[in-house]
Structure 1
Amino acid sequence: MRIAVVGVGRMGAIHAANLRRHADVTSLVVADSDRQRAQELARRLEVSAADSVDEVFASSTEAVVIAANTAAHAELIRQAARAGLPVFCEKPVAADLSESIQTVREVQAEGVTLQIGLMRRFDAGFRAGRALVRSGRLGRLHTIRSVGAEPDPPPATYLSASGGIFWDALIHDFDLLRWLTGREVSEVYACGSDAGPQIFAELGELDTAMALLTMDDGTLAAATAGRCNGAGYDVRMEVCGDADTIAIGLDRHTPLTSVEPEATFPSGDPVQNFLDRFAPAFEAEIDAFLQVARGDLENPCDGREAVEALRVAEACWRSQRERRPVRMTEIVGF
């Protein structure tokens, strides 16, 4: 297949490298608004660099991977849709909820495939957990606890354009809650703190956040996110039912220290970033996209799925700002 990657910052470079190694990719072109950055990556991977982003959509490309900054997502998705190209785009769909909904509607009207990059769906542990939940092995679910923490705050340039901790970080947890359980969120109550490094208060952002979510079957979920977890990069989930409880992401690399006198777990070095923790998942989601683009696989994470997670993030943002529970019926959707 002839594939193009648009936007070759950190995530774009990862996707390009994975595509470069993929047996089904016969031609790879990279493009970026910063032409020099595209040319440098092209030289490193020994692939082609487009002279402009627009050139990609007028070429013989068969599918497009978008990893540009969030503000550019919606228009790039529309360009791909108008060109009739299957498109993979990093989350989120767009910079706000209403534009995300409109973009997905336009893509659907064009009859084009849009897969959104929520890579935790492709992690082996989360996939195994989902299979157990859906099998009924856990019985009636009653509690889910989800943890996400980064060892160091992102750069100010990233924070200022990220959309905030609910939109940027906890969006993965909100997506997984729906994906694992097959249920919808009915109500949220969220809170947050900017008591960490001064940059968060200066930007009006949060360095720590927590959301309590009620699912439509009564299951309660608590999702936490932090930007200053010095122990390491930590993504875990506990799913509790009346028949069994499982832990996802709990292994010898989990950045925890037990104070129990006989404990020897965890025994390995902690993971320090999401690239190490989810490297196989990034490869798996791109492999899935190529299958989707060929028509060999049903879309595993389409635009509507991504918008539903964004709706939960929007509800949490409103709850945190207004200091009250927010019903999902208050948030615009399809």
Structure 2
Amino acid sequence: MLKIAVLGAGRIGKIHAANIAASPLATLVAIADPYFDNALQLAKLYGTNAVKDPLELINDREIDAVVIATPTDTHVDLMLAAARNGKAVLCEKPVDMDLDRARRASEELATLQVPVMVAFNRRFDPSAQQIRQAIVRGEVGEVHQVMITSRDPGFAPVDYLRHSGGIFRDMVIHDFDMARWLLGEEPVSVYASGSRLLNPALAEFNDVDTCMVQMVTASGKQCHINCSRQAVYGHDQRLEVYGSAGMLLNDNMRASSVRRFTHQLTEAREPLVNFFLERYADAYRHEMDAFIQAATGAQPVPVTAWDGVMALKLAECAQRSVESGKPVSVD
């Protein structure tokens, strides 16, 4: 049984704790959070230990692995401390707000030869997995275009956004990772446009709430990402992959698949699932399963720290493109 500690008792920490507790291959041994009441409350739920300082668990030789669900500015230090102590690591995105710092951390982590995984959970969504497997099998031939729609159901609090690193590092970074994964090639050029259509106050910290991104790989493959902080009809998450032999696409999740036809309307359906923890509940479970397999050596790490660096690089290029109004080369 892999002994895992969760660092951070917020909403993501709670999801990871639940999935560890439900795994037949792992044991949830402790929760750490500087807000000790949060750690204590979550620990009581699963009959485990609570501490205030994450380093106490990182330095505990009885613990095999840690899940880092703490604020972004703590990620690098905690990842490195855990890996230097020989612990497997699952860390929430992004690796860091600063690309150079993230790159240096990734380079050191590679030398430590400890399983370190970045939590891009959308790769583990069942429909995304099926699309990826179909690409690998050649069902669409050569991939020509990837289209990604990513719209949140509700606008995040401005205080959160103030410290989020901006829409590209905080939200679209998931889509940058998906683009790399589905294209099978690294983008070499990024062009992005951004607008403040929902909240003009974002200008205070140079952020936008609505954006589009165009990317091209060296061979000419294309990716389009459209993103919004607020879709009034629910969590809108769709993928489309077009290739020389066909097309793949997925649909949104709803509480019910029933469609209604009356004299007043046709094709009426239930609203989309309205929260990312519901939309990606299966993805979080599969992600934890993959981490446990990697931590025990049964499978390779599916999403590396370097993947986190590359997604962050694309986010930075997109931000520079918005500011300059020009395409940016990915160097």
Pairwise same-fold verdict (TM > 0.5) = yes
How many Å separate the matches in 1 of 2:273 and 2:156? 16
Correspondence 1:83 to 2:85: yes
The residue type equivalent to 1:88 in the other structure is L
Structure 1 264/173 Cα, relative in aligned 2: closer, same or farther at 3 Å? farther
Matches within 5 A, 1:15-94: 15-59=16-60, 60-94=62-96
Instruction: Tell me which residue corresponds to 1:129.
Output: 131
How many Å separate the matches in 1 of 2:277 and 2:326? 35
The residue type equivalent to 2:135 in the other structure is V
Q: CA RMSD in A?
A: 2.1
Residue correspondences, number = 325
How many Å separate the matches in 2 of 1:263 and 1:84? 60
Instruction: Tell me which residue corresponds to 2:10.
Output: 9
Correspondence 1:249 to 2:273: no
Single out whichever of 266-275 and 165-174 deviates more from structure 2: 266-275
The residue type equivalent to 1:3 in the other structure is I
**Which of 299, 302, 309 is 1:300 aligned to?**
302
Single out whichever of 127-136 and 266-275 deviates more from structure 2: 266-275
How many Å separate the matches in 2 of 1:183 and 1:262? 48
Matches within 5 A, 1:239-318: 239-250=241-252, 264-265=266-267, 267-318=269-320
TM-aligned CA deviation for residue 142 of structure 1: 2.5
Contact 1:142–1:219 under 8 Å retained in 2: yes
Contact 2:183–2:221 under 8 Å retained in 1: no
How many Å separate the matches in 1 of 2:255 and 2:267? 9
Instruction: Tell me which residue corresponds to 2:155.
Output: 153
**Paired-residue identity, %:** 35
Correspondence 1:321 to 2:292: no
How many Å separate the matches in 2 of 1:92 and 1:209? 19
TM-aligned CA deviation for residue 253 of structure 1: 6.1
Correspondence 1:207 to 2:209: yes
The residue type equivalent to 2:243 in the other structure is G
Single out whichever of 245-254 and 105-114 deviates more from structure 2: 245-254
Residue ranges of structure 1 left out of the alignment (5+ in a row): 330-334
How many Å separate the matches in 2 of 1:316 and 1:244? 29
Matches within 5 A, 1:169-184: 169-184=171-186
TM-aligned CA deviation for residue 23 of structure 1: 1.3
Q: For residues 171-206 of structure 1, what are the alpha-carbon distances to aligned partners after superposition, in whole Å with 9 as ceiling and x for unaligned?
A: 111111111221110111101011212442333321
TM-aligned CA deviation for residue 13 of structure 1: 1.0
* TM-score of the aligned structures, taking structure 1 as reference length: 0.92
The residue type equivalent to 2:41 in the other structure is E
How many Å separate the matches in 2 of 1:247 and 1:289? 27
TM-aligned CA deviation for residue 139 of structure 1: 2.4
Contact 1:6–1:53 under 8 Å retained in 2: yes
SS across alignment from 2:26:
coil
The residue type equivalent to 2:33 in the other structure is D
How many Å separate the matches in 2 of 1:3 and 1:264? 50
Structure 1 112/251 Cα, relative in aligned 2: closer, same or farther at 3 Å? closer
